[in-house]
Amino acid sequence: MKSVKDVFTAIVDFENRVGLFYESIAEDVRQQYGTFFEKLAEDEYRHAKIYEALGERASKDERIILSDDDAAFMKSMFENSVLGKDFDPKKISKMRDKFQILDLAERVEREATSYVQDIMGFFPDFAPEEVRILLKEERKHLQMILEKKQQMTTGFLGL
């Protein structure tokens, strides 16, 4: 990861993998949650397009600079991502444990939230409104998943 453009490209790739993750969830799990995962997938693909546009804008702005330390940090984060380069949607489609899927979705959304916060920290004056919207949406996704997990736990315990 050498440039600002590389960071945004990596985030675009991540968001596209998140969309694919949500699309790959087993049909029997999907049936329980209706359009929940489909809506999340749509949002993630839209986020990828936003990040792509932001990356184009940032790469043309000479004031947007990524330090070597920040670049190394982001490279490490993406290399160790929950949905890294070796992500296999076929494995996801075979997962039937709803709690396991929601747990993985929680980890993915926490990671996505972290990436937005990193962008805010690295480039505080760059596209603040767009980045705030992305953060708000990622937090909403995380909250929705946490609520699903809570409902599942409550139902499991018979409360």
No. of H helices and E strands in the chain?
7, 0
3-class DSSP state of 158: coil
Tokens found for residue 17: 């993998």
Residues 45-85 have pLDDT tens digits of 999 999 999 999 998 888 788 888 998 899 899 889 998 87
The CATH number of 4-157, from 3.40.225.10, 1.20.1260.10, 3.40.190.170, 3.30.1490.190, is: 1.20.1260.10
Classify 57 as helix, strand or coil.
helix
- Predicted TM-score (pTM) of the model is 0.88
CB 130 within 8 A of CB 90: no
Per-residue pLDDT, 1: 59
Q: How far apart are the first and last CA of the chain?
A: 49
**CA-to-CA dists, residue 52 to 23, 100, 108, 141, angstroms:** 21, 31, 19, 20
- Rounded average pLDDT per 10-residue block, the chain, 159 residues: 83 94 84 85 96 93 86 90 86 84 95 95 92 96 94 66
pLDDT confidence of residue 156 = 57
Nearest 10 degrees: CA dihedral of 116, 148, 24, 7?
A: 10
Domain assignments of the chain as residue spans, ordered by start: 4-157
